[in-house]
Amino acid sequence: MPEFFINGKAVQAADNQTVMQAATANGYFIPYFCWHPALSVPGNCRICMVEVASEGQVEGEGWLDIACNIPVTQGLRIFTDSAKVRARRQETLQFITLNHPVDCGICDKAGECKLQDYHYDYNGASSISIEAKVHATKHHDLSSRIVLDNERCILCTRCVRFTHEVSKSHALGVQDRGDHSLIREVGDGAFETDPYSDNVIDLCPVGALLSKPHLHQTRVWCLKPTPSVCPGCERGCGINIWHRKSEWQLRALDARRNARIDRVTPLDNPAVNGPWICNKGRDLAQIFERARATQAMLKGRPTDLAQALTAARALIGAARQPVALVSSWASNEELSAFKQALGGQMRCFVKPDSQAAPGELLQDDLLIRPDKNPNTAGALQRFDALPADARSAFPADTDLVLVWGEGFSFAQLPQQARVVYLNSYLQPENGHADVFLPISVQTERSGHYTNFLGVSSAFSACFQKPQGVADAQALFETLRATADQVLA
């Protein structure tokens, strides 16, 4: 491991690291636009300029070079914030903003824009140019999901490299040269079908690439991220679910906007997904914000939760051949609570709650997995899998079936069996069950999922449960406590 010097202090670097990589690993910040730890090094933005000094030279006597492409060598001397470096960064920022529209007031990237941050840190002054700015395409549809503002683009080419090196769609490129250069999609529509296309929105260091569904919807400083896990498949990618801060609650507008998912971004998890997620993970609001079931029912008749729980307890207590179909969207904590409460009384099988939608990509070599449920592995650690022929899971004398979660047709249930159903969304089956218990969704509770690799990841609650809805774990623990009292 070579030793080199940053701002006069000796630090260690791993073999084959660049100055940028080693400085970042040792807690030294060097600004960058085009560099990204998971992409190749183009060296075209020049903002990561540092001063390189020979042995015996002091700060201000060295030469300037870009940190992203300097390999660390033994004894190398680097200054990251010398007067010479700051002057060059000011000049670089003046060049980058030469034709930039500086429309920060209406830009969705405001508050997260590296150009804003660096301009404040290293310049803070208007451009010295008196020439008219070169205008470019202001709103160009790259796809049905993403709009491009070429006037804001600084040609860092992160988006281009992502489609060539990560998603492998080769869907973006640079058209023309000089101040006429434009990011453009290829003509075969590959970017529209790229299942990872929205990652370029996160990669863009300025406000050039923006999400159409979230365009002009809210400001980033009004939101906060909650760490979570994508339930879209068995990969279990780390994500941040962004929602409105309590201090920025809306009062004059629709109050439902205070408890909605405003956006989803990747949460870097090297053991699972790295810094990427697929587009399905971005669209989790379409899953979680469906019409909710908030009313407990007895054979379709509304009742309160306590009465429904009493009826469920009576049915379970009277059953002689009960069978349980366990949710593969349940957390490890919920699964353990169910096993402790009822696992010894019932034959239990893990069912898939979700199947691939028509036209959905089933699997690829990057992240997407064929099982579209987040915790099948965790459930199978505790219970057996439902047979391919689901009817074979039910003995002829089955008299009760507990169905937990979505995805199972009641037509496959034994006709004579009574049904206790736990679900979160409005569905016809809710009213067909003998007892229906409305339960919370992932964004309303905390827990863990175990993915297909055996990696356990945590998710946290973002919102309050609707009135009348209970956590499945609490329901099972109540049933267990009641059973213990009866046995006593």
**Do 162 and 15 reside in the same domain of the chain?**
no
Gap between the Cα atoms of 187 and 200, Å rounded: 18
Domain contains 438? yes
Residues 6+ apart with CB under 8 A from 54: 62, 77
Residue carrying the six token digits 């409460």? 341
Both 196 and 345 in one domain: the answer is: no
Using DSSP's 3-state secondary structure scheme, residue 349 falls into strand
Domain count, the chain: 3
What pLDDT, on a 0 to 100 scale, did the predictor assign at position 26? 95
- Decide which of 181, 216, 251 is a domain's last residue: 216
pLDDT of residue 426: 97
Single pTM value for the model: 0.93
pLDDT by residue for the chain (488 residues), tens only, comes to: 899 999 999 999 999 999 999 999 999 999 999 999 999 999 999 999 999 998 888 888 999 999 999 999 999 999 999 999 999 999 999 999 989 998 999 999 999 999 999 999 987 777 788 889 989 999 999 999 999 999 999 999 999 999 999 999 999 999 998 888 999 999 888 999 999 999 999 999 999 999 999 999 999 999 999 999 999 999 999 999 999 999 988 877 777 888 899 999 999 999 999 999 999 999 999 999 999 999 999 999 999 999 999 999 999 999 999 999 999 999 999 999 999 999 999 999 999 999 999 999 999 999 999 999 999 999 999 999 999 999 999 999 999 999 999 999 999 999 999 999 999 999 999 999 999 999 999 999 999 999 999 999 999 999 999 999 999 999 998 887 554 554 44
Judgement on whether residues 168 and 81 belong to the same structural domain of the protein = no
Q: Is there a domain that residue 202 lies in?
A: yes
Structure confidence at residue 79 (pLDDT): 97
Measured CA distances, 378 to 85, 303, 423, 442, 476 (Å) = 52, 33, 19, 15, 18
CA pair distance 38, 46, nearest whole angstrom: 19
Domain match, 92 and 140 both:
no
- Sign, Cα dihedral of 39, 41, 43, 48: positive
Residue 391: inside a domain, yes or no?
yes
Give DSSP secondary structure letters for 375-412: THHHHHTTSEEPPSSGGGGS-TT--EEEEESS---GGG
Supply the DSSP string of 162-224, one letter for each residue: HHHHTS----EEEESSGGG-EEEE-TT-HHHH-TTTTHHHHH-SSSSEEESTTTTT--GGGEE
Which domain does 208 fall in, by range? 130-216
Query: Do 31 and 134 fall into the same domain?
Result: no
CATH code: domain of residue 171: 3.30.70.20
309/199 same-domain check: no
Residue 6 has a pLDDT of 96
CATH number at 349 reads: 3.40.50.740
Burial classification of residue 228, based on how many CB atoms lie within 10 Å of its CB (0-12 exposed, 13-18 middle, 19 or more buried): buried
Question: Under DSSP, is residue 487 helix (H, G, I), strand (E, B) or coil?
Answer: helix
Q: Would you say residue 240 lies in a domain?
A: no
Residues 345 and 472 in one domain: yes
Give pLDDT, residue 481.
59
Domain end: 158, 184, 216, which one? Answer: 216
Full DSSP string of 403-471: EESS---GGGS-TT-EEEEEESB--HHHHHSSEEEEB--GGGS-EEEE-TTS-EEEE---SPPPTT-B-
In a domain, 409, yes or no: yes
Same domain for 139 and 67? no
Q: Are 190 and 246 in contact (CB under 8 A)?
A: no
What integer pLDDT is reported at residue 305 of this predicted model? 95
Confirm whether 270 is domain-assigned: no
Of 168, 198, 216, which closes a domain?
A: 216
CATH code where residue 62 lies: 3.10.20.740
Structure tokens at 350: 């893990």
Q: How many CB atoms are located within 10 Å of the residue 444 CB?
A: 19
Q: Would you state the pLDDT for residue 484?
A: 52
Decide if 417 is inside a domain.
yes
Say yes or no: 334 and 422 in one domain.
yes
Q: Are residues 422 and 301 in the same domain?
A: yes
The region that residue 236 occupies, defined by phi over 0 for left and psi between -120 and 50 for alpha, beta otherwise, is left
Rg of the chain's alpha carbons, rounded to an integer? Answer: 28
353 and 459 share one domain: yes
Is 225 a domain residue? no
- Shared domain for 330 and 203, answered yes or no, is no
